[in-house]
Structure 1
Amino acid sequence: MSSALLVIDMQNGFVHPEGSLPSLGMGMPDIDRVIAENAAVIAAARAVRMPVIYTRSVFRPGMVDLPMRMEGLLPPHFELLERGSWDADIHAALTPEVGEAVIDKNRYDAFLNTPLEQVLRTLGVSSVLVTGTVTSICVESTVRSGYMRDFDMHVASDCVAGALGQHEASLSIMGAAFANVLPWREAMAALTASTETISA
């Protein structure tokens, strides 16, 4: 069994205090701790040669590919996460290394209309450990979609962030039906032990 770490949308626009959504008062609680935990799990994955894959929510100038429901949440003519902008970049504390895949998407589900599944299949991945933002939106959408594609999904409960109430409810829902939800150190230990057992 091969595993990969999937880091969802840890972009300036979502998690940096000067990013577009925090500047609108839509920042997430405890985000500094979540960034630090993501940095730690990424380092741990690299240390055991587990592939690290990133996703970015990015939109064309003019937001012509923005999901319809998101339009109602933003001020008129407000642009965020524009392709190629600082806002759309991965947070500097979590910068991808050369050779690590970065999957751009314009919908919550990171599998929808992207090469994510192809990348995972090419790497021989069957188990996916998910971190990132937002827990109840892009994280949960991607976890459900991965589960329906027969990937063994895991969610690092200490590496995801979202609105209070929604965050906790989403972790509960994912844990009940779609994924193993546990702290990243426990998840990494289990996935690494599983890989070693099969290799032996």
Structure 2
Amino acid sequence: MEYSAIDSITPPCVVSRGSGAPPPASREPRPMTSAGSVTAGLSTLSFARPVPAPRPVAVPATPQDAEIDLARTALVIVDMQNDFLHPDGWFPRLGVDAAPLLAIVPRLKALAAAARAAGLPVIFVNWGVRADRAELSAPLLAKAGASGRRPVYGDPSASGRGRILVEGDWGAATIDALAPERGDLVVHKHRLSGFHDNEFDSILRNRGIDTLLFSGVNIDRCVFSTLCDASFRGYGCLLVEDACATVSPAYVSDAILFLVRQLYGVTLASDALIAALEAQPQ
């Protein structure tokens, strides 16, 4: 749902002046500009915003069931990008097996479709660095590049398809199977967390979103970092556990699920979430 300012002009306030004072001069409201402000004269600028009607829905979750307000909830899809999943991308060219990441694509497609049908914003949070890497710290580059032993953010792709995870280049684009649709949002990041030093928080608050459904890759890296930062900022956090994946060992995912359930929110299955979304009146 889009939220836009409603600007209005109200009649001037009538102020009591005592029995001997003349009545205040009458003023007509001045015309509005196209932006909603007044051109001159006395007026009132309304900062009121329309509040969507609550759409509460219960969802089965762990360690306890949860209730979310669909009018204030968004689906977040993290890092489903060519450089992580496509055979010509950065990770696969380094020898990383992307099969576990690709395995969640069908579930993510179904989940995104259900979210759109239910009126939830679908937000892709993707790596997208500057071509000159000016925003990337030396420790970050050293760690990602194994101290110069492998290509890193902004380097030419080994497949010849642009530069690694540079915003606007092929590697930073969402994979074709999950390409954003009309009305979806794409937010670029340059750290593991999708909230660091960008516009993500402002977009959510401007849309009245206070609850986030997390999905994507890697569950122990960018998904978890973004979820933690969301929790620190006061968002409700639900991790769709079978719509997340990682190239790390299984015990790492188990640890993340434990931490989310213990400290940050709840986890749930995509089928249960989709069923809850589809049961709601449109």
TM-score band, normalised by the shorter chain?
Answer: 0.7 to 0.9
Q: 1:160 aligns with which of 239, 244, 248?
A: 244
- Pairing 1:176–2:246 present: no
- Pairing 1:72–2:158 present: no
RMSD: 2.2
Identify if the C-alpha distance between structure 1 residues 18 and 77 changes in structure 2 by more than 3 Å, giving closer, same or farther: closer
Q: Give 1:109-148 correspondences, 5 Å limit.
A: 109-148=193-232
Q: Deviations over 1:56-96 (max 9, x none)?
A: 10222354444242232763554221222111100111111
- Higher-Rg structure is 2
Q: Give 1:28-43 correspondences, 5 Å limit.
A: 28-43=98-113
Kindly provide the amino acid, as one letter, of the partner of residue 186 in structure 1: A
Q: Deviations over 1:148-192 (max 9, x none)?
A: 111110111011111123222222212221121111232455678
What is the percentage of aligned positions where both structures have the same residue? 29
CA distance in structure 1 between the partners assigned to 2:275 and 2:206 by the alignment:
24
**Aligned residue pairs: how many?**
195
TM-score (norm 2): 0.63
- Pairing 1:21–2:68 present: no
Unaligned runs of 5+ in 2: 1-68, 156-163
| Worse-matched range after superposition: 181-190 or 139-148 | 181-190
Q: Once superposed, which parts of structure 1, at least 4 consecutive aligned residues long, lie more than 3 Å away?
A: 62-66, 73-78, 187-193
Identify if the C-alpha distance between structure 1 residues 75 and 64 changes in structure 2 by more than 3 Å, giving closer, same or farther: farther
TM-score (norm 1): 0.87
Unaligned runs of 5+ in 1: none
| Worse-matched range after superposition: 57-66 or 16-25 | 57-66
| Worse-matched range after superposition: 146-155 or 172-181 | 172-181
> 1:17 deviation in Å?
2.4
Q: Which residue of 1 aligns with 2:54?
A: none
CA distance in structure 2 between the partners assigned to 1:127 and 1:77 by the alignment:
37
More helix by share: 1
